[in-house]
Structure 1
Amino acid sequence: MRAAWVVLVALLAGCSSAPSPAPAGTAPSPGPSAGPTRSPSPSPSATPADLTLAFAGDVHFTERTRKLLDDPGSAVGPMADVLRAADLAVVNLESAVTTRGTPEPKEFHFRAPPSAYTALKAAGIDAVTIANNHALDYGRVGFADTLDGAAAAGMPAFGGGRTIDEAYAPMILPVRGVRVALLGFSQIHTLAEQWKAGPATSGIALAWDVDRAVAAVKAARERADLVIVFNHWGTETESCPNADQKSFARSLADAGADLIIGAHAHVLQGDGWLGRTYVAYGLGNFVWYVGSADTGVLRVQVRGRTATRAELVPAVVSPTGQPKPLTGPAATALTNRFAGLRKCTGLSSGA
């Protein structure tokens, strides 16, 4: 794995809504809703390196994709080569990782055994967002297993935690000398009130608490060279971002987010630049239990805080549920379709 990681949650005893004190020589948290970072907060690097980042959409191991865990080393399939080649690779883990718990009152339930983390690491994935509408499919018992399993496997998981401060805390990973902050927020209504993290209650970080999300991005901005937000948002099967997505993206960009990545809609949504902030509204399904769909790995070149180039490495969800790379005319067609999705985003073609 290319991103060495440290997870260190500093909480103030008896006051879960207050930020933890910053170490000497670092800027303080911007406000009580920002929460503590999950790693020490050293001063940003003076000369950030150029990085290649890779992102993909929704991943789980349920039904047909559960069989892929019989061989975790090859579970994600050939697109893992693209993920491994990046300096940092991040996906949305659309599942509880547990063998326990009781299904929540909702239509779809996804879960996988702990070997899911083995499969993700083998594919070159360095971190996962768990801020989504399936992380608590098997309640807080299953969610505790998801968190514990990630820690045991050495897989950084962000966007959720055992308290509200932990859920909103930026995960800071050193990547080739660059301090990269990762945050995750869910903008899905289903069971949002029941699943949100509280002062002493586990759960996920919600985009609906815009003030807290903005404060978390500002806190990350003070402590990191590069700030990436991975959102779970959008209207299912709609290839254009909705008004809530656009409004939240603007708030995050104004707060200092450098890249904003998204998933949930089960289809690709467009990308581009919102001022100097790169936004990819939706990456669709990646390792998925049913159907076939356009997909791919989004490869982003970053220099300093600026995304200088972005491209979708085209693929399709195959009958095994794995993403398979496209070549020739099929690859060209998907590349062109993805570029065309920018028309309804309001984003520009460059920073």
Structure 2
Amino acid sequence: MAFAGDVHFEGRTKARLNVAPPQQALGPISKQLADADLSMVNLETAITDRGAPQAKAFTFRAPARSLKVLQDSGVDMVSLANNHAVDFGQVGLTDSLAAKASSPIPVVGLGKDAEEAYAPHVAEVKGVKVAVLAASQVDEETNKNWRAGAGKPGIASALDEAALLDAVARAKAQAPVVLVYLHWGQETNPCPTAAQTALARKLASAGVTAVVGTHAHTLLGSGMLDSTYVAYGFGNFLWYNSSSAGGTETGVTTLTITAGKVTGEEFTPAQINGQGVPVPHTGAQAAAAVKRRDGLRGCTGLAPVGR
């Protein structure tokens, strides 16, 4: 299974919607996503051409065809449980839900109500059922105003830990492998917050196979928390500007899962170029980037995979 970070089609990356062939929208690193049995990113945007922007500093949106572009680029699934999924209000949310309903790839973390928003996508990979769900722990306008509830559309919230843990229990009843993709952390902080580590422990205790996520605009450390793999932050991936501190280092994390446990981790490092596209490192640059990324584990309390 391959994971990468935050993606959207704004500013300099808007042109990636029209790249030919479409398989190159994410650049050459698409190969790492396409080669995995299942791959996933966070789509950091409302999926709409309509609606009024919400009263916040940054608002992002993309047309529904962005989902097909991501599919062509090797992405098998996206999360919309983030702080930009409802940047264009109720009209944009209605469009995003319609885009989800007609999407060529599964979309998790957003729904017409809480039941749908927290529901996992269950896939069969080489004879093994895998359940993937998503939620946001970012405490801001989207989580306050557009949290899914009973009869209320919106995002799945990780701030409602009881709802998230209940969703995990229901996912485990459907599949032996459960992965949770979270939007969490503090922007530009390369170390996990207390809220992240506390939630990771609860999800590990609930038997989650892997907990991964984004939001900080910079890479964070990863490794094993007992028998659960945790990646605290994948950073930006296809990104509209270069102003985020630490935001140009990125990559694809590929996990090997054997008998329901993460037994291998491979990181393909990349640098976001002037067009906002992740370009894989090679040679000595790649080795140095992997070493920097592995060094981020020091403030996480996690153990290396395989030890």
Normalising by structure 1, we get a TM-score of 0.83
- The equivalent of 2:277 in structure 1 is 322
Matched, 1:264 2:207: no
SS of 1:124's equivalent in the other structure is coil
Tell me how large the CA RMSD over aligned residues is: 1.1
Q: 1:104 aligns with which of 54, 66, 72?
A: 54
Amino acid of the structure 1 residue aligned with 2:77 = A
Q: Which range moves more in the overlay, 302-311 or 171-180?
A: 171-180
Structure 2 gaps of 5+ residues are: none
SS of 1:283's equivalent in the other structure is coil
- The equivalent of 1:333 in structure 2 is 288
- The equivalent of 1:164 in structure 2 is 114
Q: 2:64 aligns with which of 109, 114, 132?
A: 114
Summarize the alignment of residues 128-207 of structure 1 with structure 2, pairs less than 5 Å apart.
128-191=78-141, 192-207=143-158
CA distance in 2, matches of 1:348, 1:188: 26
CA distance in 2, matches of 1:76, 1:144: 27
CA distance in 2, matches of 1:220, 1:168: 10
Summarize the alignment of residues 159-308 of structure 1 with structure 2, pairs less than 5 Å apart.
159-191=109-141, 192-291=143-242, 293-308=248-263
CA distance in 2, matches of 1:231, 1:137: 18
CA distance in 1, matches of 2:161, 2:278: 34
- The structural deviation recorded for 1:80 is 0.5
CA distance in 1, matches of 2:103, 2:139: 30
- The structural deviation recorded for 1:318 is 0.7
Matched, 1:309 2:257: no
- The structural deviation recorded for 1:73 is 3.4
CA distance in 2, matches of 1:138, 1:327: 40
CA distance in 1, matches of 2:282, 2:257: 26
Normalising by structure 2, we get a TM-score of 0.95
Is the 8 Å Cα contact of residues 253 and 266 (structure 2) preserved in structure 1? yes
- The equivalent of 1:58 in structure 2 is 6
CA distance in 2, matches of 1:308, 1:263: 22
Is the 8 Å Cα contact of residues 147 and 157 (structure 1) preserved in structure 2? no
Sequence identity of aligned pairs in percent? 45
Amino acid of the structure 1 residue aligned with 2:260 = R
Amino acid of the structure 2 residue aligned with 1:85 = D
Q: Which range moves more in the overlay, 240-249 or 66-75?
A: 66-75
- The structural deviation recorded for 1:168 is 1.1
Is the 8 Å Cα contact of residues 76 and 119 (structure 1) preserved in structure 2? no
- The structural deviation recorded for 1:219 is 1.1
